Amino acid sequence: MSEFDDVILRGIQSRKYGQLVEMFGTNDVLPLWIADMEFATPAPIRLAMQHVVAQPIQGYDLQYPQWEFSISDWYQSQYAVNIDQRWLHYVPGVIKAIVLAILSLTKPDDSVLTFSPIYDPYPNLVNTSGRQLVQSKLIQKDGTFAIDWQDFEDKVQTCRAFLFCSPNNPGGVVWDKDSLRRIAAICKASNTLVIADEIHGDLTLFPQQHIPFFSVSQEASENCIVLSSANKTFNMPGVQGGFAIVPNPDLRERFYGFLDGCYLAETNTLQQAAMVTAFLACREWHAQLKEYLAKNIEYVQQQMKLRCPKITTVYGGASYLLLLDATNLGLEPEQIKAFFIKKARLGLSPGSQYGPGCEYYMRLNVGCPRSMLVEAMDRLAKAYRELSHR
């Protein structure tokens, strides 16, 4: 038995369980939707946080020792890339930092490009910040998504920034070095800033390999803000916080100057302790997690082929979130959603929330003990048989 096989009871304070009626209209679903995992946060992180909380005076503290080193050492060990510690800055969270980058480095009514399908906060935050949303639709190909290069190059010409999810969410697409270099060259030529969200990068599964965007070329390093966090990887999203990597000194001065001048990047000792401990003391846990997730992904793919052949999987190699393509069920998007909720009794994220090109999909979170996944596949297979025999 692995520690990842332990079933942990979570209360309704957890959004995954506490919002079931709001999200699905019923409590009678197995929740496999929001992007946190059903695994215990690594023990060293919990101990480090307990040490912080146990201090009798919760006053103003200095920055946690070794926070810059923990990140640079992590990137060297995981990706064999060097980070100058001057490039680093705390941010209040990846999505918050994207908004702050847009506000500080673009102007009202500027156009901002994203791919589609894409993580649903992206379109919302672009529109709410007073910018114009432009989207380039990805192409489904060989069980994953690919870039429509002509469409991307045409649309990026008018855009001041490109919000780049790497790996892509949803679908877990791991972009190869040639694609990253091509994106860097196109965006540099069009004077389009690349804001790269790499929060799922550390969950890239073998044999794929995540490549940090800033490392692929000089064009990339001169024209990017890379954002990430330990929170997704080590299952502590409730802790919040993250970090930015900006190699270009002029861009760094503008962005970090804005953050510091507006007091928008202050963090707390709890966040710092959790991150440093994650990167320096939880590497074995991280390796074991990725092995477990890879087996869960493989299990779902096998189950779809064996028991639900009209439902296919779309997965590019990163994270615990894969897409189920229900196009061949012959149902409309709202009917697909109802099928999963009412017939299969599964609480999954509907693909429609990720934008054009994902309407017939459902996003499945496999970051859970195998026993939960077996139950989910049994429920889906039963509903699939009943649908097929109508």
Encode pLDDT of 5-18 as tens digits.
Answer: 999 999 889 999 99
Q: Indicate if the pLDDT at residue 301 is higher than 90.
A: yes
Average pLDDT over residues 250-257: 98
Mean pLDDT, all residues of the chain? 96
Residues 6+ apart with CB under 8 A from 215: 79, 81, 221
pLDDT band of 64, cuts 50, 70, 90: confident
- Omega of the bond prior to 123 within 30 degrees of 0, cis? no
> What is the pTM for the complete model shown?
0.96
pLDDT band of 266, cuts 50, 70, 90: confident
For the chain, give the secondary structure using H, E and C: CCHHHCCCCCCCCCHHHHCHHHHHCCCCCEECCCCCCCCCCCHHHHHHHHHHHCCCCCCCCCCCCCHHHHHHHHHHHHHCCCCCHHHEEEECCHHHHHHHHHHHHCCCCCEEEEEECCCCHHHHHHHHCCCEEEEEECEEECCEEECCHHHHHHHHCCEEEEEEECCCCCCCECCCHHHHHHHHHHHHHCCCEEEEECCCHHHECCCCCCCCHHHCCHHHHCCEEEEECCCCCCCCHHHCCEEEECCCHHHHHHHHHHHHHCCCCCCCHHHHHHHHHHHHHCHHHHHHHHHHHHHHHHHHHHHHHHHCCCCEEECCEECCEEEEECHHHCCCHHHHHHHHHHHCCEECEEHHHHCCCCCCEEEEECCCCHHHHHHHHHHHHHHHHHHHCC
Q: Indicate if the pLDDT at residue 238 is higher than 80.
A: yes
Average pLDDT over residues 177-203: 98
Question: Which pLDDT belongs to residue 232?
Answer: 97
Comparing C-alpha atoms, which of 165, 168, 166, 134 is closest to residue 151? Answer: 134
Rounded to the nearest 10 degrees, the angle between the axes of helix 269-281 and helix 67-79 is 30
Give the residues across from 90 on adjacent strands: 243
| Gap between the Cα atoms of 248 and 257, Å rounded | 13
Question: Which pLDDT belongs to residue 357?
Answer: 85
Average pLDDT over residues 115-123: 96
Average pLDDT over residues 122-147: 96
Average pLDDT over residues 80-90: 97
Please report, as a single letter, which amino acid is at residue 25: G
pLDDT > 70 fraction of the chain, expressed in percent and rounded: 100
φ, ψ of residue 242 to 5 degrees: the values are: -175, -160
Rg of the chain in Å (alpha carbons): 21
Q: Indicate if the pLDDT at residue 388 is higher than 90.
A: no
Average pLDDT over residues 116-122: 96
pLDDT > 90 fraction of the chain, expressed in percent and rounded: 94
| 167-184 confidence digits (pLDDT tens) | 999 999 999 999 999 999
Average pLDDT over residues 27-39: 97
Task: Please give the structure tokens belonging to residue 378.
Answer: 């049994």
Question: Which pLDDT belongs to residue 389?
Answer: 76
Q: Indicate if the pLDDT at residue 390 is higher than 80.
A: no
- Decide: 186 and 136 in contact? Cβ < 8 Å: no
| Gap between the Cα atoms of 290 and 284, Å rounded | 10
Question: Which pLDDT belongs to residue 158?
Answer: 96
